[in-house]
Amino acid sequence: MKNTSWCSVLHLLTCALLLGSIQAQSRPAADLVITNAKVWTVDKSLPEAQAVAILADRIVAVGSNAEIGAWRGPHTQAIDAAGKLLLPGFNDAHVHFVSGGLQLDNVQLKDVTSPEEFARRIGDRAKTTPKGEWIMGGTWDETKWNPPNIPTKEMIDAVTPDTPVFVTRYDGHMGLANSVALRFAGITAKTPDPPGGTIVRDAHGNATGALKDAAMDYIDKVVPPLSHDQLVKVVKRALAYAASLGVTSFQHMNPDYADIAVYSELLQRGELTARVYAAPLITQVEDQTKIGIRHAFGGPYLRIGAVKAYADGSLGSGTAYFYEPFLNQGNNRGLLSDEMHPVSLMRDRMMAADAAGIQLCTHAIGDEGISMILDLYSEITKAHGVADRRFRIEHAQHMAAKDFDRFAQLHVIASVQPYHAIDDGRFAEGHIGHDRSSRTYAFRTFLNHGVRLAFGTDWDVAPLDPMQGLYAAVTRATLDGKNPNGWFPEQKLTVAEAVEAYTMGSAYAEFQDQVKGSISVGKLADLALLSDDIFSIDPTKIRDTKVLKTIIGGKIVWDADTAKVTQTRPSAK
């Protein structure tokens, strides 16, 4: 055996070196490396780096160009980021994904500034709408008109004599039906207001066409549901749009089961190009408790195990539930949702969800609405003991001063949408005054109290583009241009804080902070390469920043160079 002498004492060092090089050679090469980037990791153990190596769907190394260079092999795809900013992919903690997808093709009313324009756009759409189909969506905003009156059916009846119309206010808490739609829904002067809803009426008691909150259900019942093929098309359209904006994960609030079925189908076909956490309505909580699944049940592309509840309505519709009345609406203090009639109904459902290990995500906007949900969360903790529940309050918009501490003590996540702040900031003080507005979208106060923030958009209530949300959180410059230095500027966040809320914060809110939300070794390779360094540019320019590339699970799903979205992954994982 002529090689016996190799491992003599004298040659031990050589031996060790040889072994080391064999190990290096046996390490697999990366599938993808990104070099020359300004990598902002959102990982405190290594906040910044130059380059990232990806193997299969995971990040395997983060470091300098030289360190990552060692991961290159003959088949490694390389991206030279040319000094651009690389962030973890954005995780939108609160979207209505199918409504958003539908809205991409619906009549557009959000930027309408007069009743005449409102009627003209709906009339134009009616001309091209096939017989029997509805005109829906719209997301109108009457505060942009002068005077800002809620629209009535009379404004659109003449241009839609045969077409049913139900166009919703941008906050989703009010809609306008034309006479055809009211007739389909059977709404007359005699129809009572449902619990948690209002049929807006004229001086003679006749419906004006405007329906608030639970009253919108009358219409929902008569609108034909989307066919399966239509739904698949809408979801794919929305996925492509999300990819182009760097949104790699989203949390779908109150999806229909049919929506989840479409995600599941696309997952199996390898066409689900974003990671989904779906939270159906709490009214159906028994379906999930029966199966015995717990929070965040599923795989990296599709999870369930949360429920979405509603405490109240919205600020703009005058239905957020407050301790004190709105300033400009008589004695109106807002409306508790139908799920809160009676509160014991909500308590029972929440207790059932929590006992089964299902996560609670509750929409609460007015200060008393939020407070009532904190009461219920506190009761749950007392009844079922301490656990890692990650209670969420969606929107958490107008806080009572007394409740910030409670929010923190109960470890409730504030799942907030910064764009709403620069939108509602236009009119909030007129509705609720200065004092309550000072605790409105109070992101800084939440952080000071140790409350975790998760950022989202509420799309289609607000734009899906994360850059608009980051811009809003950092500048708080209202959309009307009246607060260039920030509306309640003491509540502004730094870019780093805003990015963290949009990545790690949202991942934490869906129990996925161990597997995504930062650019860290071992985590899923979900990344967004930006056109500009949002940390160094003028904050007002953040909203103009574009996403150059979006990578999900190591695959490029959006490339601005070719303006191309890749809607398939090689294999469903």
517 backbone φψ class: left, alpha, beta (φ>0; ψ -120 to 50): left
Q: Residue 572's closest CA among 557, 546, 553?
A: 553
Instruction: Identify which range of 33-41, 189-197, 452-460, 556-564 contacts Zn ion by CB under 5 A.
Output: 452-460
Q: How far is the CB of 173 from Zn ion (least distance, A)?
A: 10
Closest to Zn ion by CB, 94 vs 236, is 94
Binding mask 252-291 for Zn ion (x = CB under 5 A): ----------------------------------------
Measured at the alpha carbon of residue 166, what is the angle toward residues 164 and 169, in degrees to the nearest 5?
Answer: 160
Q: How far is the CB of 459 from Zn ion (least distance, A)?
A: 9
Measured at the alpha carbon of residue 278, what is the angle toward residues 273 and 281, in degrees to the nearest 5?
Answer: 150
Instruction: Identify which range of 162-170, 184-192, 365-373, 457-465 contacts Zn ion by CB under 5 A.
Output: 457-465
Binding mask 493-532 for Zn ion (x = CB under 5 A): ----------------------------------------
* Residues within window 530-549 making contact with Zn ion, judged by CB under 5 A: none
Options 57, 458, 465, 526; binder of Zn ion; rule CB under 5 A: 458
Cβ pair 322, 399 in contact under 8 A: no
How many C-beta neighbours within 10 Å does residue 563 have? 8
Q: How far is the CB of 363 from Zn ion (least distance, A)?
A: 6
Number of residues that bind Zn ion (CB under 5 A): 1
Q: How far is the CB of 547 from Zn ion (least distance, A)?
A: 23
Find all residues with CB under 8 Å of 111, minimum gap 6, and list them: 144
Range list of β-strands (E), 365-431: 392-395, 413-416
Give CA–CA dist 307/349, Å, rounded.
Answer: 10
Find all residues with CB under 8 Å of 313, minimum gap 6, and list them: 173, 212, 213, 319, 320, 321, 334, 335, 337, 365
Closest to Zn ion by CB, 172 vs 517, is 172
CA distance readout (Å), 221 to 64, 147, 153, 215? 58, 32, 19, 11
Closest to Zn ion by CB, 259 vs 458, is 458
Find all residues with CB under 8 Å of 207, minimum gap 6, and list them: 153, 182, 187, 188, 189, 191, 199, 200, 201
Closest to Zn ion by CB, 312 vs 458, is 458
Assess 213 for contact with Zn ion (CB under 5 A).
no
Instruction: Identify which range of 3-11, 306-314, 451-459, 482-490 contacts Zn ion by CB under 5 A.
Output: 451-459
Instruction: Identify which range of 133-141, 227-235, 458-466, 469-477 contacts Zn ion by CB under 5 A.
Output: 458-466
Cβ pair 125, 167 in contact under 8 A: no
Binding mask 21-40 for Zn ion (x = CB under 5 A): --------------------
Tokens of 69: 């260079």
* Residues within window 65-124 making contact with Zn ion, judged by CB under 5 A: none
Q: Which residues bind Zn ion (CB under 5 A)?
A: 458
